[in-house]
Structures are given as C-alpha cells and as structure tokens.
Amino acid sequence: MRRKLRRWAILLDGAGALVAPGLEAAGGVRRAPRRVSRAGQGSDNVPAMPGGEKDRRKRPLSVTLVALLALGVAVYSTVYGVVILEGGEADRRADGFFHLALGVGALAACVGAVRLRPWAWAAFMTWAVVGLTHQILRYLFFGDATYADMAINTFAVLALSPLEVQIAFGLRHTENVELARPTRNPLDRG
C-alpha cells in the first residue's frame, strides 16, 4: 500500500502541476520541476515544450499571415493541378503533377507554420529564395517577371526575418539568455 502511495502519476493539470492518482480532489498536487524549452517561453514556471501536448508559445501575426498565403497557394495549386490533369492533355500532365506536389508542400508548410515548427521556417525561406531567384532570372533574361509573385515572396522573407519570429519558431535563443560561449552573430552581442 505504501508503495502505491509513493508513485505519482504523470498527470498534468492546467497549471502544469503533477497530480497524485486518487488525491486530485483532496489537493494532492505537487509542482512539476522547472524545465527549459528551446523557445524559453511558457507560463506558470513551466515553459512550453516544442511538440508537447500544449504548445503555449505565442504565434506572431506575421507568421499567421504567411501561413494564410501558403494556404491560398496550396488551394490554388491543387485546384489548378487537378484541372490540368482532368483536361487529359498528355503534354500538360507533368505541369499538373508539379502543381499538385506544390499544393501539398504549401499545405504542409502552412500547418508547420501554424504549429511553429522550425522546419516550416526553413521551408518558407527556401521557397522564397527559389521564387525570388526564379522571378529575377525571368526579369533579366525574358522580361516577363510576375511582380505579384515577387511581392509575395518578399513579404514572406521580411515577415519571417525578425528576431522575435525566429525565437517563436525555436531557431534562435531568447534575448535574455546568457550564453556559455560568445556568439559570432553581431546582432546577438548587443
């Protein structure tokens, strides 16, 4: 019996406390030890853990806007790909499959951005670099660049570049963390 009472269940209540089984109503609550997350943010002295059950990191508005743009691209590309494939033209089949794959990738990046996954930030930045490079090359060599595409990619880069957005994605440390060794980034030395 004594052995059973010493065991604590790994039940977390809303305040981040460990609760003993059978003693929830009697107040058998013990505070969880403080853990450090990659983002270093959270509430009630229990920081949010990336990928945990309750991710309490605050999503910046710019991330939400970029995720909505990615959702729009996903819907457009998927519908466009399906229309091309339903058309039945054999020479346009590769274009249809490309747009379907682009739609699935944009949807995955959208979901990753909403969940603040670090790979989603890298996917958006890679997507923007490839898109901007493509449009600049079209402007220089063919003279028919799509300026709306350039504007959207530029907005994505400018929206995802600030330090607080990188901190929210868990890519950079918070500004008040003391590093064990000095950083080589001049912006972080400040």
Residues ≥6 apart with Cβ < 8 Å to 139: 145
Residues 10, 129: Cα–Cα separation, whole Å: 44
Q: Rounded to whole angstroms, what are the CA distances from 105 to 5, 101, 116, 146?
A: 50, 6, 16, 21
Confidence of residue 187 (pLDDT cuts 50, 70, 90): low
> Residue 12: its pLDDT value, please?
39
Q: What is the mean pLDDT of the chain?
A: 75
62 CB-near residues (< 8 Å, 6+ apart)? 159, 160, 162, 165
Output the pLDDT for position 177: 59
Q: What is the mean pLDDT of residues 62-69?
A: 93
Nearest CA to 120 out of 171, 79, 61 is that of: 171
Q: Residue 179 pLDDT > 70, yes or no?
A: no
pLDDT of the residue at 173: 75
Please say if the pLDDT value at position 18 is more than 60.
Answer: no
Task: Please give the model's pTM, rounded to 2 decimal places.
Answer: 0.60
The per-residue pLDDT for range 73-116, each reduced to its tens digit, is 999 999 999 999 998 888 888 989 999 999 999 999 999 999 99
Q: 């747009």: which residue's tokens?
A: 99
pLDDT average, residue stretch 182-189: 63
Q: Which of 97, 100, 110 is nearest to 78 (CA)?
A: 100
Task: Give the residue extent of every domain in the chain.
Answer: 9-38, 61-168
Cα–Cα dist 16/181, whole Å: 32
Residues whose CB falls within 8 Å of the CB of residue 105, separated by 6 or more in sequence, listed in order? 123
The contacts of residue 123 (CB under 8 Å, 6+ apart) are 105, 108, 109, 112
pLDDT for the residue 44: 41
Predicted pLDDT at 123: 95
